[in-house]
Amino acid sequence: MPDNESAAAVDFIRAAIEEDLRTGRFDHVHTRFPPEPNGYLHIGHAKAIIIDFGIARDFGGKCNLRYDDTNPVKEDVEYVEAIKEDIRWLGFDWEDREYYASDYFEQLYEMAVDLIKKGKAYVCDLSAEELREYRGTLTEPGRESPWRNRSVEENLDLFERMRKGEFPDGSRTLRAKIDMAHPNFNMRDPVMYRILHATHHRTGDKWCIYPMYDFAHGQCDSIEGITHSLCSLEYEDHRPLYEWFLKELGIYAPRQIEFARLNLTYTMMSKRKLRVLVNEGVVRGWDDPRLQTLCGLRRRGYTPEAIHEFIRRVGVGKTNSTIDMALLEHCVREDLNKRAPRVMAVLRPLRVIIENYPVGQVELMEAINNPEDESMGTRTVPFSREIYVERDDFRENPPKGWFRLAPGREVRLKHAYYIKVTDVIKDAGGEVVELRCTYDPESRSGVTSDGRKVQGTLHWVSAPHAVDAEVRLYETLFTVPNPDDVPEGTDWRSYINPNSEEVLIGCKVEPSLANAAVGNRYQFLRQGYFCVDKDSTVGRPVFNRTVTLKDSWAKIEKKG
């Protein structure tokens, strides 16, 4: 049983592991997380990380980090380092167990030779197109390669020459000899090795043949003593092949268990397409806050705790489904509500002159940092004769039910006084550029001598003390819930949301934010949750909106 009292409720994976320990199939738990270093990790990988590392932790076991670096054409050290950063950010540590499939290239080669000697593998000269043609269909068996019955000696000679680099890319492959009529396509003589004359980020030019994942996967698990190889559901059909290699090689056999991968609405999960977005400059990079890459979520202001809670709520199942983005946003709102300090920021400023407030006077108003956590204390906010309010908080001709600023209308300024509009100043084009107001000096912090109350409370920033800031507002990057699944013949790029990012210049924030550290998170009163971006400079912060205050998921839960 898990030794962690806070472990997730027992799901089918944990139940299977408990049974394995009870029956003695294994006497410990050792998992692995096997990312391919060909891009940055996204929210889907977070589920795999939390399952792989979390289960090992809960059962007092170990989890290896093992890179599946078997395709040198797409891999890079940049991705290797980024993956480590993301795993650590989620709160996990592989300790001294950092491995690479390339660590085992020599052993994997010898295993392939062993299968050739047993008559279980052969060198095939079919091209990639011919391989697809010979594979057959769901209703028709495949055809055997003309080279399937080469002698062991010839196969050994050709495979060694493949290793030495005598043949061009794509001219030959090494295939397992299983059954071309097998109902499972993965068992129809799958390719084990292909020729790739490409420089590897770790082994350089030592190798020009590289194992396929289906061959490397199980053998690497075996070499490392993995007990439970936890995979996403698409590998369920690959499990017979995983087990076939282990059996034919006569080596230690881990147990493969599959779970449903994570799909999220309005989110692109294809690394290939994400790379297109980055390379074509559609986004600012792999860490663009509109992407659900882990570095993008981090830059946007998401917390690892929110990601963990989201994955916990999604659960571990065996049926693929698509999760509503609203649930992820709900989880980060819940978390930031508890930890984010409240501050005041005016995103579209409108100047207000309080005509009866003393010229040159400055008062320091006490403001609570977070009403959800008294230990966060208070701060002081300067108040003066000139302030900024949100342009959207004023209507010259207000609709029914309007409780904000309007001619002759009185509102409360958060932490300060009641003010009333007395005059509206416009420019030559008729646009409102300034409001003239009066204030009630007896109404500080919402207390008046006559006990009157107002229904509207606005945030504000003192104009002489305001700090200029840039604020980036984000919406979903795509206009359709499933951008990975678009009609045939349709370019998925056509579903990119042209309004996914709005950059506001000249925003005004309270002086406490002048030198806010990159990564700090705040709730802008009445606006949402924001995070300080890495593009910030001294005295000119840049903020990314993490999420709005409105919570559609909470409403859904209440209705449910």
Instruction: Considering the candidates 57, 271, 300, 472, report the single residue annotated as catalytic.
Output: 271
Encoded amino acid at 376, one letter: M
Laid out side by side, the sheet with 173-176 consists of: 121-124, 173-176, 191-195, 209-211
Instruction: Considering the candidates 36, 85, 434, 475, report the single residue annotated as catalytic.
Output: 36
SS3 state at 437: strand
Whether 161 is a known active-site residue: answer: no
> Pairing state of beta strands 432-440 and 349-354?
parallel
Whether 261 is a known active-site residue: answer: yes
Contacts of 440 (CB under 8 A, 6+ apart): 417, 418, 419, 420, 448
Angstrom distances, CA of residue 117 to CA of 151, 154, 157, 213, 488: 9, 11, 11, 22, 46
What is 70-108 written as a DSSP string?
A: --TTT--HHHHHHHHHHHHHTT---TT-EEEGGGGHHHH
HSE at residue 532, side-chain half, CA atoms within 13 A, is: 21
Angstrom distances, CA of residue 134 to CA of 47, 141, 168, 264, 410: 37, 9, 22, 36, 80
Whether 117 is a known active-site residue: answer: no
Strand-pair partners of 209: 195
Contacts of 129 (CB under 8 A, 6+ apart): none
The tokens describing 466, both together, are: 């305001």
The tokens describing 2, both together, are: 């898990």
CA distance 35 to 37: 6
332: closest CA among 158, 109, 31, 549? Answer: 549
The tokens describing 503, both together, are: 């950059």
Instruction: Considering the candidates 261, 351, 420, 526, report the single residue annotated as catalytic.
Output: 261
User: How many other CB atoms are there within 10 angstroms of residue 366's CB atom?
Assistant: 10
SS3 state at 307: helix
The tokens describing 297, both together, are: 């979520």
Helix runs in 59-190, H state only: 77-89, 105-117, 128-134, 152-164
Residues annotated as part of the active site? 36, 261, 271
